[in-house]
């Protein structure tokens, strides 16, 4: 029987990014896996890194395939003041500015300006989706004022303090997992490769496919054999059945974040799978 999760505690450090498929509503369940025996937190599909920010571990590895995301985290970690100064020059809820920034050649921008652009587009794009065209250019449409304002400086400052405890790896999840060791807690929240649900096609399906499910499953077995704790969250599906076999799991009911309009956001089941 699926379990409904309670609302989030308000004292958590919120992430400064929106992210399609974010697991913020699963945090009350996910945070229970982090215990005093864990020395480091590892997340190979970082996204908004909401669990990392909620836990505030003393040591962490955050990885992701998205180089724009990883470089933004690095800038917020090391050069936050420059990022905030650049963000302060950008008008909120402005479609013309959004389209102007979206069209820029990022190779011509300083790293802090590139990070500010990424944050602005993330805040005002449709549903926090990250998607690029065949030329690799971000092409998600403007959302408007339904998504709220850019977080205040205090949120960025708190996130920056957390990020100082993390190292970053840009690349495939296997590249991240090669760094894990006993005493780590590995949290994996991969993009969905669910064939039967159109909504999940909003993610770029080329970044995670059904073939990658098999790779992920092999790594789960490898981590378990090495005595390294892991947690995987995934939509209830045939693919999740492959991942959960032989491991502990719980079905949790949450409200899905990816939808065109809030009124049509339905409840859905997620599996939380672990070897703990």
pLDDT tens sequence across 73-123:
999 999 999 999 999 999 988 999 999 999 999 999 999 999 999 999 999
How high is the pLDDT of residue 153?
Answer: 97
User: CA 207, 213, 215: angle at the middle one, nearest 5?
Assistant: 95
Q: 188-219 b/e with 16+ CB inside 10 Å = b? A: bbbbbbbeeeebbebbeeebbeeebbebbbeb
Query: Domain extents for the chain?
Result: 3-274
Question: Phi first, then psi: what are they for 26, rounded to 5°?
Answer: -95, -5
Banded pLDDT at 5 (limits 50, 70, 90): very low
How high is the pLDDT of residue 2?
Answer: 54
User: What is the reported pTM?
Assistant: 0.88
Q: Which helix (H) or strand (E) holds 254?
A: strand 248-255
How high is the pLDDT of residue 8?
Answer: 40
Quick check: 18 pLDDT over 80? yes
- Nearest CA to 193 among 166, 173, 170? 173
Quick check: 147 pLDDT over 90? no
How high is the pLDDT of residue 131?
Answer: 87
CATH 3.40.190.80 fits 3-274, yes or no: no
How high is the pLDDT of residue 204?
Answer: 54
Tell me the pLDDT tens digit for each residue of 233-275: 999 999 999 999 999 999 998 876 554 445 555 678 999 999 9
CA gap 43, 76 in Å, rounded:
18
Mean pLDDT of the chain: 88
How high is the pLDDT of residue 193?
Answer: 72
**How does DSSP classify residue 274?**
E
Burial class of residue 15, CB neighbours in 10 A (0-12, 13-18, 19+): buried
């Amino acid at each position: 029987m699926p379990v409904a999760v309670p609302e989030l505690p308000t004292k958590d450090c919120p992430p400064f990014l929106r992210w399609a498929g974010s697991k913020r509503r699963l945090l009350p369940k996910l945070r229970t896996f982090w215990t005093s025996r864990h020395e480091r937190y590892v997340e190979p599909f970082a996204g908004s890194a909401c669990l990392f920010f909620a836990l505030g571990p003393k040591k962490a590895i955050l990885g992701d395939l998205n180089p724009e995301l990883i470089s933004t985290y690095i800038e917020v970690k090391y050069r936050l003041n420059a990022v905030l100064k650049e963000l302060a020059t950008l008008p909120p809820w402005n479609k013309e500015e959004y389209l102007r920034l979206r069209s820029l050649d990022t190779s011509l921008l300083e790293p802090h300006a590139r990070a500010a652009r990424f944050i602005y587009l993330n805040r005002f794009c449709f549903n926090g989706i990250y998607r690029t065209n065949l030329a690799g250019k971000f092409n998600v449409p403007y959302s408007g004022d339904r998504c709220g304002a850019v977080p205040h400086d205090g949120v960025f400052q708190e996130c920056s303090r957390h990020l100082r405890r993390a190292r970053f790896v840009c690349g495939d999840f296997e590249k991240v997992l090669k760094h894990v060791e006993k005493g780590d807690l590995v949290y994996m929240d991969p993009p969905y490769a669910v064939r039967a649900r159109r909504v999940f096609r909003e993610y770029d399906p080329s970044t995670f496919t059904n073939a990658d499910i098999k790779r992920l499953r092999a790594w789960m077995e490898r981590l378990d054999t090495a005595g390294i704790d892991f947690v995987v969250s995934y939509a209830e599906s045939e693919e999740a059945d492959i991942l959960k076999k032989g491991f502990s799991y719980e079905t949790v009911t949450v409200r899905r974040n990816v939808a065109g309009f809030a009124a049509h956001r339905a409840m859905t089941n997620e599996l939380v799978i672990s070897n703990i």
